[in-house]
Copies of this chain bind each other. A is one copy, B any other.
């Protein structure tokens, strides 16, 4: 019998308890032993809840219980969650989490702590919800040098962009609708400014690079500047606008970035709509593969956490190493990385645009006031310099184009 403790009986935590209970038989088969939730830490009481009797209010009831060997940290945040995770790992108990903030901030240190204490720290649910992506990166794509990872990893913004594309609606209206539906938070900055995607990308990039990529170092643009007009251009050009989280190890070196991109019909990410997530990977031998599924939701996320519980339950007393060193690396390839850019300027600026962006391809303008074009492939640095010398305030908008 493997006893599990749960930190936090909110949405994901109650999902974890439900998965472990409902799928007890399949989990027993996969672990080779039965798995049971023994205690749930929460500040609240849950009168009438079927698991009411398991609720404890003191973390010591879990980290101090020698019968508990695996803990699910589903409380979120980086305060108490960090402290309790450290206590658990120091007590030799493996910890499985969906807490991407904590993993992005303290992942390598917690992995080290797990190693010292012969247990494991796992976080499949921190990226892509229920989609298996962390484990395939660690266990399956092991014969390849991963040269590119491109993900749609934030369901809220993908839902919003999908609605904007379907209805021609503007950002503000769609945001309000998403908030009404509960898909977007009242304070939606983490999603719409791209910070959530950047945290997930930091985790993926760190696992690929083997060293710590800080999410603050990732150039990040959200979708707040995407207008109905941009979407209309995208449609006319047979593109969709998608918020991409990209890691690429190209000619200019490795870089990571989050920004809205034009994505073409031939790209498998083109068809990833609504709240779905997908992560496309390119290996130097494998070529292109993609992982697709629900990036959020109570049960999909809980399923990923419990998948980690199964792995930890099979490795009690044994640390299974993860290639993510507690050494920060600044990826330097961003400025030199090359892309084409879609650009809109005022119609009066067309001559100047043609002079500045040598070899541009004109795009049919959606209004008589505008001149729109697609640049040749050029480096981020080159593009930034050109738009700045051109007069950045004269550029109505620009959107990168994904190959």
Given the known interface contacts A29-B210, A135-B136, the answer about A143 and B286 at a Cβ–Cβ threshold of 8 Å is: no
Asked if A291 and B294 sit within 8 Å, CB to CB, the answer is: no
Asked whether A284 is an interface residue with its Cβ less than 8 Å from the other chain, the reply is yes
Asked if B310 and A143 sit within 8 Å, CB to CB, the answer is: yes
Asked if A303 and B135 sit within 8 Å, CB to CB, the answer is: no
Given the known interface contacts A303-B143, A303-B144, the answer about A132 and B293 at a Cβ–Cβ threshold of 8 Å is: no
Asked if B323 and A30 sit within 8 Å, CB to CB, the answer is: yes
Q: How would residues 283 to 313 of chain A score, 1 for a CB under 8 Å from any chain B CB and 0 otherwise?
A: 1111111111110010110111111011100
Q: Which residues in B have their C-beta under 8 angstroms from that of A310?
A: 142-143
Q: How would residues 20 to 33 of chain A score, 1 for a CB under 8 Å from any chain B CB and 0 otherwise?
A: 10110011011010
Asked whether A19 is an interface residue with its Cβ less than 8 Å from the other chain, the reply is yes
Asked whether A140 is an interface residue with its Cβ less than 8 Å from the other chain, the reply is yes
Closest Cβ of chain B: how far from A385's Cβ, in Å? 35
Asked whether A124 is an interface residue with its Cβ less than 8 Å from the other chain, the reply is yes
Give the docked Cα–Cα distance between A18 and B23 (Å).
42
- What are 25 A-B pairs at a CB distance below 8 A? A15-B285, A19-B285, A22-B284, A22-B285, A26-B144, A29-B323, A32-B321, A124-B140, A130-B285, A136-B136, A139-B139, A139-B311, A140-B307, A142-B307, A143-B302, A268-B292, A271-B271, A285-B300, A289-B291, A290-B290, A290-B291, A290-B292, A290-B293, A291-B291, A292-B292
A residues with a Cβ closer than 8 A to B are 15, 18-20, 22-23, 26-27, 29-30, 32, 124, 130-132, 135-136, 139-145, 210, 268, 270-271, 283-294, 297, 299-300, 302-307, 309-311, 321, 323
